[in-house]
Structure 1
C-alpha cells in the first residue's frame, strides 16, 4: 500500500482538475526535502531553486514569503515528514504554451523516504537531461536510464555527457575522493542541495574541494566516490562500471559530518 499523502494547491485541497493537468502536462519544476521539527536543512537553497525556476519557466514567482507560508501550512503540526513543492500553471499546455505569470504551488506531504541505498554500484550511460540546471518534471529519460542500469545488474545510472565527462546521477550528485580532496564534476547538471550543504562544511572537517571536468576515463584514478541527495546525504559508490572502489569509512564520516553541521532552518 502506498503511504498516505496530503496534496494542496495554493493552500487549498487539490481538485480533480488540478491533478488531471499535472498528470497530462509535465511543464513545471519542483524541489523536495525532509522536514524535522518544522525546520529544513538548506531551506535557503530550496527557496532559491524554486525562485529561479519560477522566473525562468513562468516569468514570475510566488515569492519567498508566500512559498514559506504555503510550506508551513502544508506541514501543519507534523513533527517529521517529506515535503515536495511543485510549480505549475493550468494555463500552460501542449497547445497553449505562451502564458506568462505567477505559477500555482502544489505541496505534497508524505512520510519521509528511506535513503536510496547504503552502497551503490553504478553504470555509466550517455545522457544529458533537458535543461539540466532545473529540477523539472520531465523525468522519462532518467527513469529509463535507471531501468537500463538495473536490467544490467547495477543499482543506478551515472550520466556522461557528449564530451565523455561525468555529470550527475539519475537522482543524485556524485563526488570523487582523492586523498583529503573532494572533486565535484564540472558539467551541465543540477546543482544539488545536499551537495551544496556538504560543500559548506568541508573546511570544518579539514577537507578541501575543487570543481573540474572529470572524464569517464579518469574515474579509476580516484580513491573513492559517493552519491548525495536530500534523502541520502552520503552513500558510498562501490563501483562505476568495471572500476571498483573500497569505501573508506573515515572519509565518508567526515563528509557526512560536513552535511550534518549545517543547521536546519525554520520554515515559518
Structure 2
C-alpha cells in the first residue's frame, strides 16, 4: 500500500492503537514485517463477514504474539478511525504487529500493536481475468501474514506473460488459490472449493456459510489441473470481488476458456445475500 506522498507524509488515514498518525517512523515499517492483517470493505459503516474478521485477527495474534485482540478493541479501533477520517464507505486494513520484538524473541507474550489504514473504497473488478497456473505453495498459508512478496511476484510474472494474474497449484498438481483471491469452481449447479493448503479467506467463509444457509452446501475436495475443463465456471473471491468470473486458465497442458454460467452465478449471489453485513 502506498502510504506516502512526495513529502513523505501519510496520504491515507492511519491510526496506531487508536491515535492518528501524520508521519511514519522508518522503525514502524520494519516492525510490520512480522505480523498479519485483514482487509475489510466498509459500506455505510457495515462489513460483511465481520465476525470472521474478528476471529481471524484474534486467533492469528495469539499464534504470533501470545496474546489476542478482543472484539471490543478491534471494533472500537475501526470505528474511531472511520469517524476521524470522515468515512462511512472505505477500504480498511487492520495490521497487527509488535514493536517489542526483543520481548517476543525471549518467548514472552506481547500485546499486539494495531495499525488501522482507511483508504478510498475499492470497486469490484470489471473484467473477467485470464489466469496463468503457476506452481507455488505459500508459507504458513493459514495466516494472512504480511509476507506477500511471492504473491506480488508471481502475479507480475503472469502479467508479463500476457495474463491478468496467477493461479497457484501445489507440487501434486492440485489447484490451491490465486494471488489475492480464493478460487472456486462450479459444475451442474454445485460449488467446489479446492482442498489444499490455502488461506481461508473471509469471503470464502461467508459464501460457504451462505450456501449452507440456503440449502446448497458446497463441496471441498482436491481439484486437479487436468480436470479444469470439466467445470462450467470458475470464480475468484475476496472482499472486493465476492464472485469474479474467470475468463480463462492456462496450464502447462493448454488453456481452458469459461463462458458465463447463470446457474452458478445466481447461486453464489443468493448465498452472498444470505449473509448480511454487520454494523461495526
Fold conserved between structures, TM > 0.5: yes
How much has 1:43 moved relative to structure 2? 0.3
TM-score, length of structure 2 as denominator length: 0.88
Q: Say if 1:182 and 1:69 are closer, same or farther in 2 by CA, change over 3 A.
A: same
- Alignment counterpart, residue 194 of structure 2, candidates 182, 185, 195: 185
- Aligned-residue CA RMSD in angstroms? 2.2
1:39 equivalent in structure 2: 46
- Alignment counterpart, residue 170 of structure 1, candidates 161, 175, 179: 179
How many residues are treated as equivalent by the alignment?
266
Q: Does 1:137 align with 2:146?
A: yes
How much has 1:250 moved relative to structure 2? 3.9
- Alignment counterpart, residue 243 of structure 2, candidates 220, 234, 238: 234
Q: Does 1:67 align with 2:80?
A: no
1:150 equivalent in structure 2: 159
Q: Does 1:51 align with 2:58?
A: yes
Q: Which ranges in structure 2 are unaligned for 5 or more consecutive residues?
A: none
Q: Say if 1:145 and 1:89 are closer, same or farther in 2 by CA, change over 3 A.
A: same
1:208-263 Cα shifts (integer Å, max 9, x gaps)? 41000111112122111111100111111111101111121342133123112311
How much has 1:16 moved relative to structure 2? 4.7
Q: Distance in 1 between matches of 2:114 and 2:129?
A: 34
Q: Distance in 2 between matches of 1:217 and 1:145?
A: 21
Q: Say if 1:116 and 1:28 are closer, same or farther in 2 by CA, change over 3 A.
A: farther
Q: Say if 1:206 and 1:120 are closer, same or farther in 2 by CA, change over 3 A.
A: farther
Q: Distance in 2 between matches of 1:145 and 1:30?
A: 20
TM-score, length of structure 1 as denominator length: 0.92
Following superposition, which runs of at least 4 residues in structure 1 exceed 6 angstroms of deviation? none
2:91 equivalent in structure 1: 82
Q: Say if 1:19 and 1:12 are closer, same or farther in 2 by CA, change over 3 A.
A: farther
How much has 1:266 moved relative to structure 2? 1.4
